[in-house]
């Protein structure tokens, strides 16, 4: 029998949803693909603390130290496997009730370096996961996509979930194609949902220093110098703990709120240009030299509406970019990581 722990925050739920929350967390098993990664390792710990049973499948491309704190937990199971392998997926899905699909080649640079693997993992393996999930009676699948799917857009207008997508990288192209397949797979008893997530920041057991805010803080702390390319392009940002909180909300929400739905995950006040982020960093790390280069190779530029996720789930980010800056500063100041150049902290 799993230990039970129920959150006191009902997120404005109906009585039906509160009852669903109790039934979901009593004995329910969540499979996280890519659970040893930047987001996955946080989610694994959070969901165990909520009382779920958690299974993780991961090929440990970036190592497995992120899961050491949960290894041996009575409600945790790890499968070292490849989601491109049907046998591995079937093993992972056995006994699971819901799936959080994170496993992917993430980011434009990584996809450029590994185009074959990007297509196989981000798209073809996702299709296989969907079909096997339906066969195995999985009730709910949460798919992590990206706001990068909006590509370049008029920064004076907000892109919402119905805005035509404009992927400008292989990474985004595979995410868009996977979204379409997933949304076409809705069936009785199978409720898939797509999260288009803002650019994430904050600390994690599998730390990443190739994400904008994390990278800027590290460079400012280490070098007292920042080189910023294309400083006036817009992006939305979200703290990794807020992402985990949104997953928790979606796992217990009524089926009608998630099945076949797409949600931009972020907050109204969380969109910044790189220049604005550098100014926030300068307030916390003075005497940092800022060098601006007007042109860059990454041309993504978009501002996003988060009205749907706010109205449907009363979801608003609780942690600011400033909070994230201070958090990563603390990591660097206290030398919790010594070798910042280790490739395991970067997706390329």
Question: What are the extents of the domains in the chain?
Answer: 15-201+237-265, 212-234+268-302+319-345
Query: Around Cβ 326, how many Cβ atoms within 10 Å?
Result: 12
- Residue 229 and residue 298 in contact, taking contact as beta carbons nearer than 8 Å: yes
CA distance 1 to 53: 10
Residues 6+ apart with CB under 8 A from 180: none
Q: Is 206 left (phi over 0), alpha (psi -120 to 50) or beta?
A: beta
State the pLDDT at residue 61: 94
State the pLDDT at residue 12: 57
- Residue 30 and residue 53 in contact, taking contact as beta carbons nearer than 8 Å: yes
Same CATH topology for 15-201+237-265 and 212-234+268-302+319-345: the answer is no
CATH number belonging to the domain at 212-234+268-302+319-345, selected among 3.40.50.1170, 3.40.190.10, 3.40.50.20, 3.90.25.10: 3.90.25.10
- Residue 48 and residue 75 in contact, taking contact as beta carbons nearer than 8 Å: yes
Structure tokens at 167: 């992927």
CA distance 234 to 232: 6
Give the pLDDT means over successive 10-residue stretches in the chain (348 positions): 38 59 70 98 97 97 96 97 98 98 96 97 98 97 96 82 94 98 97 98 98 97 92 94 98 97 97 95 94 77 94 98 97 95 93
- Residue 199 and residue 264 in contact, taking contact as beta carbons nearer than 8 Å: no
CA distance 296 to 269: 25
Candidates 252, 234, 162, 248; CA nearest to 198 is: 234
Q: Helix 212-223 and helix 321-333: axis angle, to 10°?
A: 40
State the pLDDT at residue 27: 72
Q: What is the pTM of this model?
A: 0.91
DSSP-assigned states of every residue in 332-348: HHTTS-S-TT-GGGS--
State the pLDDT at residue 7: 41
State the pLDDT at residue 5: 36
Distances (CA, A) of 70 to 35, 37, 45, 118, 290: 12, 14, 7, 29, 40
- Residue 34 and residue 65 in contact, taking contact as beta carbons nearer than 8 Å: no
CATH number belonging to the domain at 15-201+237-265, selected among 3.50.50.60, 1.10.10.10, 3.30.1950.10, 3.40.50.720: 3.40.50.720
């Amino acid at each position: 029998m799993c230990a039970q722990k129920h959150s006191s925050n009902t997120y404005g739920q109906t009585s039906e949803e509160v009852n669903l929350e109790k039934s979901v967390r009593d004995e329910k098993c969540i499979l996280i693909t890519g659970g040893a990664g930047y987001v996955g390792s946080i989610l694994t710990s959070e969901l165990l603390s909520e009382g779920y049973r958690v299974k993780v499948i991961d090929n440990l491309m970036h190592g497995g130290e992120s899961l050491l704190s949960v290894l041996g937990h009575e409600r945790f199971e790890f499968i070292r496997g490849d989601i491109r392998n049907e046998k591995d997926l079937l093993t992972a899905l056995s006994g699971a009730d819901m799936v959080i699909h994170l496993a992917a080649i993430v980011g434009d640079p990584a996809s450029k370096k590994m185009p074959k693997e990007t297509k196989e993992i981000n798209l073809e393996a996702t299709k296989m996961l969907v079909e096997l999930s339906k066969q195995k009676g999985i009730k709910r699948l949460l798919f992590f996509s990206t706001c990068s799917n909006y590509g370049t857009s008029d920064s004076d207008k907000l892109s919402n979930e119905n805005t035509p997508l404009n992927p400008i990288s292989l990474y985004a192209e595979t995410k868009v194609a996977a979204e379409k397949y997933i949304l076409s797979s809705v069936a009785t008893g199978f409720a898939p949902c797509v999260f288009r997530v803002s650019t994430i920041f904050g600390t994690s057991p599998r730390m990443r220093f190739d994400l904008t805010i994390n990278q800027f803080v590290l460079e400012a702390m280490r070098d007292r110098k920042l080189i910023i390319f294309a400083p006036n392009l817009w992006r939305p940002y979200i703290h990794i703990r807020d992402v985990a909180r949104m997953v928790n909300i979606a796992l217990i929400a009524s089926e009608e709120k998630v099945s076949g739905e797409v949600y931009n995950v972020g907050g109204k006040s969380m969109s910044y240009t790189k220049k604005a982020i550098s100014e926030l960093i300068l307030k916390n790390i003075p005497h940092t030299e800022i060098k601006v280069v007007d042109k860059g190779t990454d041309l993504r530029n978009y501002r996003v509406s988060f009205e749907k996720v706010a109205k449907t789930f009363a979801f608003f980010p609780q942690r600011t970019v400033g909070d994230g800056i201070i958090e990563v500063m603390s990591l660097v100041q206290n030398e919790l990581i010594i070798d910042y150049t280790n490739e395991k902290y970067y997706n390329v």
